Structures are given as structure tokens and as C-alpha cells.
Amino acid sequence: MTTVICPYCFARASAARLPYRCLMTPTGVHGGAPCAAETDKAWAAFQGPRTPRGAQERGPVFTPARRLPGLGGAGSSVPCPRCGVPTPVRVCAECHNDLPSDYCDQDSRIIALVGAKASGKSTYVAVLRNELDHRVGQAYHASLAAMGQHTQSRDKEMAEDLYERLRLPDATRPSALGFNDPLLYRLSLPRRGRLRVSGTRHTTLVFFDAAGEDLAGAEAIDRYTRYLSAADGIILLVDPLQLGSVRDRLPVHDGPPLPVVETAPRQIAADLAAQLRTHGKGGTDKRVTTPIAVAVTKTDMLRSLLDPHSPLLRNAAHTGGAYDAEDRLAVHEELRALLVDWNCGSLLRQLEHDFARLSLFGLSALGAPPPPDAPADVPKAGPQPVRVEDPLLWLLALRGLLPVRTAGKEWTR
């Protein structure tokens, strides 16, 4: 029996027991009258007090009286008990958010994206999406499709901003202004057996983005704990320009000014671990068991501090559509040495003490800083990303979704 995790409130339920929402179509079967809209109190409560009263009127939610064998599969519809018109729209029993039509029919991987204000989370997701569509998708014979109207609209908006207008996406709004919808994608990968490819595996990726303002301390981050505790993996973005030792070492330049110093990465990591432990995510040694990919962003700004042969300056090859474990280790050790050299050993120790499965990454979503005279936020040539895919691919490989190559050998779980 398939268990569904709601991508909005992260409640768990059996797919076969999810309620449905009436479409309120005018071609009713019982007497020809369509259902009327009703105030959906569960959905309105989840959305918050700023939800307009008119938006709270939605199609009635109902649970079918009984289940038939096979009910609830892909493309299935259930007749509304009032008007008799079939509806395929399933909703979460807790928050009453509508679920995309094929969300309940496949495995899901929830990825929590965490970072201080101005760490570039929205830009990171937009560029990662583009890379999975093109360079990385081609290497792994993968395809990525946005699920649901919100993700499709947000995808289009972010792509137009970055690749056409050369503008950075708008910052994530704080939770005080309302709930931030997750981004839902259907990832399709070859299903590999021991000897050959045997079909396709579909997995739903759920990216949940917490605004930087909501990570200013333990009390604020508690709002997001229920989402983070449901995550299969966490990507923590660390802006190196927030690190005092890095700021002091950068050469004086005429580019954009350094960002205002926000919440320290060490504090975010500590608060995150503390909250997850209180929700049962600590192992026997009290370290958090959820894998965390710690990604140092904006490596294009660090070129003067890196060795010319640093693996951080080039993309991984992804040869043969397999994840290269040796390349991942080289990047991890490079970042570990750099953090120590940058007098950030306390951050490193904090992470190693708090998380059982940790890997360090370095990436640049844009590839270069914008020239000082550019009328936009993105380099004139557009984004030329470096290693943006690495954190996600590591998390997918841990879950057995990618073949892994190590020491010249390839294996698949």
C-alpha cells in the first residue's frame, strides 16, 4: 500500500484513503445540478489569515464510501456522491491542498533547502532546474517535469528572469506573509538492473524553501521543523561572503558590494540540528540521521583564494551516467581544508558533531559575478553554473536512485 507524504503539510496517509475534491462541473448526473462551492476551513486555516474570504470557497471534499480493488491508481477518478461527476483530484486529509494528478502514484523524495537571507536559494533552484533539463539530464538520461500549476508558473517566471531578463529571482517571502508553496517535480531515470536497463523509474522531488528571515534563531526555525523532519535530505547553502575571514581576504574590486552579514551559518546549522533532534531525528550518538549536503555557494567570487587546479573550478564529468564517488570525496576534502584555512573550523566541527551523514560541496549558480556596469544582476553571457547539481545527485545516490562509480567500479543499489 502506497504511503503519501503531503508536500504542503507533510502529513502521512495511505494513497487509497485520500479524500477527493468535486470539480463542480455543470454536467451533473444526479438531477443535472453541479455542486456548489463551500468554505474549506481546513485549507483556509493552513493558508493563514491573509487568505481572502472568496478564495476559501472551493469544491466540496469527500471520501468515497468504499474502495474497489485497484482504486487510486494513475488516472483514476471517483464519482462525487452529490452530483455523480467523476473527479481525479485528490487532496490531503489534513490541510486539504490539492495534490497533482500523478503525485500519489510514485515514490517521493523531499529535499529541504536551507540558507540565510541572500544565500541565493531561489537562484540555485532555478539554475539547478535548467541544468537537470539539459547538461545533467543528458548525462544521466533523465528528464524532469514540473508538477502542478504553481510549480509550472514559478518555473517559467524564474527561467524568464534568469535567462532572458538576466535578473535574479525575487527573494523567498517570510512565513509571516503566508505559506510558501513547495516546488514539485517528476524525475524520470532509467531503472538499472545488474546487467541492463529495465524500464524507467519515476520519483517525485519536493523542494521546500525556507525564507532566510525565518532562520534567524531557534524559535523562528521551529515553524519549519515539521517540514525539515520529513525531509529525505537537506541542502544547506552557505554564502562564503558571510564569513568574516573570507571577506577580509578578498581583493578590493569594483564589482557589486559585499552583502550585509546575516545569521551565521554555524548558528543556522546548530539550530537546525537541535530542532530535528527534538523530533526524533537523532541517532544513538545524538547526531542527526538526515543526510545534509553543505554547499558553499558563489565560488566564482573565490577564484583568487583557490588553487588553479581546484576541482571547484570545473564541473564533474558524469561519465556513463554514473555518480562519481571519488570526485565527490575530492571536493569534500578540498572544502574541508579551505574551511580550516579560512578560520572556519568551528563551523566544520559543529557540522561534524551534529550530523551523521555530511558532505561538503562548492558551487556557483551564475559562474561569474555581474560586471559593475551591467544593467542586470546576472552576467551578460547568462548563467554559466559550476557544480550546482552535486548536492542533489549525492542525496539521490544515497537513496539508490543513481548508479555510483567508485575506484573505477560501478555499482547500483
Residue 391 predicted with pLDDT over 70: yes
**Highest mean pLDDT of the ranges 150-159, 357-366, 374-383:** 357-366
The pLDDT tens digits for 131-189 are: 999 999 999 999 999 988 888 998 899 899 899 988 887 765 555 444 567 889 999 99
The DSSP secondary-structure symbol of 306 reads: S
Residue 292 predicted with pLDDT over 90: yes
CA distance 411 to 377: 42
Alpha-helical segments (H) within 160-286: 218-221, 225-228, 244-249, 265-278
Residue 197 predicted with pLDDT over 80: no
- Give mean pLDDT, residues 256-285: 80
CB 393 within 8 A of CB 375: no
The CATH architecture one would assign to domain 106-411 is 3-Layer(aba) Sandwich (3.40)
List the one residue out of 260, 248, 323 whose CA is nearest residue 293: 323
- Count the Cβ atoms, other than its own, within 10 Å of residue 63: 13
Q: Band of the pLDDT at 48, cuts 50, 70, 90?
A: confident
Residue 271 predicted with pLDDT over 90: no
- Per the structure block, which three cell numbers stand in for 85? 461527476
Dihedral angle over CA of 262, 264, 270, 273, nearest 10: 50
Residue 34 predicted with pLDDT over 50: yes
Position 177 scores a pLDDT of 43
Give the residue, 26 or 341, on which the prediction is more confident.
341
Dihedral angle over CA of 149, 151, 155, 158, nearest 10: 110
CB 61 within 8 A of CB 24: no
CA distance 207 to 401: 17
CA distance 16 to 60: 19
Run of H or E residues at 399: none
Mean residue pLDDT across the chain: 84
CA distance 156 to 130: 11
Residue 309 predicted with pLDDT over 90: yes
Position 316 scores a pLDDT of 94
DSSP, collapsed to helix, strand or coil, labels residue 319 as helix
**Highest mean pLDDT of the ranges 184-188, 289-293, 377-381:** 289-293
Position 196 scores a pLDDT of 62
CA distance 359 to 319: 21
Residue 318 predicted with pLDDT over 80: yes
Which amino acid would we find at residue 324?
D
- Count the Cβ atoms, other than its own, within 10 Å of residue 68: 9
Q: What value does the CA radius of gyration of the chain take, rounded to a whole number of Å? A: 23
Percent of the chain with pLDDT over 70: 84
Position 129 scores a pLDDT of 93
Residue 318 CB partners (closer than 8 Å, separation 6+): 136, 139, 140, 324
Position 36 scores a pLDDT of 92
Position 373 scores a pLDDT of 64
The vertex-144 CA angle with 413 and 240, nearest 5°, equals 85
Domains of the chain by residue range: 1-104, 106-411
Residue 219 predicted with pLDDT over 60: no
Run of H or E residues at 185: strand 183-192
- Give mean pLDDT, residues 93-115: 86
Q: What is the pTM of this model?
A: 0.87
CA distance 126 to 69: 41
List the one residue out of 209, 190, 208 whose CA is nearest residue 199: 190
CB 359 within 8 A of CB 296: no
Pairing of strands 323-324, 233-238: unpaired
